[in-house]
Structure 1
Amino acid sequence: MNSNGIAADIRRGIAAGEYRYGARLPSVRDMAERYEVSQQTVAAAYAVLAALGMVRTERGSGTVVTAGRSAEAHLGTFTPPDLAAAVPWKPSEGGTATEETTLVRQLSAPKYMEAWGIAEGSQVVERTRIRSVDGVPSQHKMTVLPYEIASRVPEGHEGVPPMLAPVGAAPVRPPEGVRVADWLGWNVDVTEASITAEPMDKAASDALGMTEGTPAFRIANVTKDPEGATLYVTVTTAPLHHRVTLNIVG
């Protein structure tokens, strides 16, 4: 296990209350023995947690937990007056915004997707887009859909299903004033969003030109139909110096 994996494991322990606020984590030596890695690897994991504000290293006292059990700050439930007019992202301080699809592939869903309501081993389509401001990558966005959802073709459309369009293909857009989800007949009922600070994974760090494990926002949206089946999932990664915003109407 590398330092990011150890950091994620300890973070889950903090969130679950295994490592309580104010408690000392095991020494670097003891943790290295537990994970069967070098002390340098554990020290790097502790550094990641410190950068996230979850632990603090004190001379003579070791590494102390500075975060409590996980909790949720629910921002509200709302319905905007015109979903088709929603702006998914924009630069905070001006600049030219662009977006490019960099990966489209079909694969068997790995186990971690079960948390999104997607069965392990089922066929899914993964699409990755990079959002840039003035040509500088700023967000990594991965979208995952069950294959049967991704392969739907809107009425009157000819050619490859829009969600299966390969990298480099011209973007296919719905008619003016129509949401993509409605155009494709996805019957969206609810989207559940979670925003966390996480060590950046390799795919996102490579795309954004940053070091793997750099702290970043991770915004995961799981969209479901009225029966509770998952229609699609988006996971957006953005460096912490960016902002996450939300409009609540009503």
Structure 2
Amino acid sequence: MKNLISFDEASEKANLSCNELLFKALDKQLGLYHMSSKDKREALVPCIDGILHHASVGDFIHQYKPLLDQIEYVDVQIAQPLSLNERAIKELLVSSQFNEVELYRELAPEIDDVDFWKTEREVHDWEEDLPEYDIIKLEQIQICELELEKCLSVKGLPSKNASKDPSSTALKVVGLLMHHLSKSPKYASGDAPNKSQIKELLLGLAVELDVNNYGLSKVDERLLKQASDYLETQKN
């Protein structure tokens, strides 16, 4: 649990968009987790798949056989990390949210001759006044930092340290662009570039070009200062 980081933080560390991380999770390169906000017991019912009954035009009813004599109970504790299953990840890709029930389905044991699992509440969905499951949103999802580091190293992607330590060439490029911008009074502070205004410019450009602003939205001015200081050391 100590190694879990927020989805936004993982995206920034890996320099990957949310969807790129989700696709990696779908490929089983990463595990995604949701930390339970409550103590809970859930009854899971193993089911045998049936046919899609053609009830009327455009209306199909999924028929299945619930094995109610083989109910399994799972207990979840508050602050317990729960793994997301494939269905939950796909729903995040489509709508940035998924139904809480998928977290409990993932806890079902492996039993021979069982096609899928439903919760007891789902099996009795015709009954009124049954409590509804919560909707889990993307910002509530966490990633194991160690798994992320391993994934990045295997794929040869930049690690979090690489993203925090820009190369000397990158610093030189940023520094030169800053000094070019400082020729305009708006981006100058005395004889030096106005780092705060340049930061706002970068955020504005990200919006204009519809570019993911992860990293830009949280970047402080240390990088810009580092680039400016480095440029001073490179003068002939």
Of Structure 1 and Structure 2, which has the larger fraction of its residues in strand? 1
Of Structure 1 and Structure 2, which has the larger fraction of its residues in helix? 2
Relative to the length of structure 2, the TM-score reads: 0.24
Q: Which of the pair has more CA radius of gyration?
A: 2
Relative to the length of structure 1, the TM-score reads: 0.23
Query: Bigger relative contact order, structure 1 or 2, given CA contacts below 8 A and separation 6+?
Result: 2
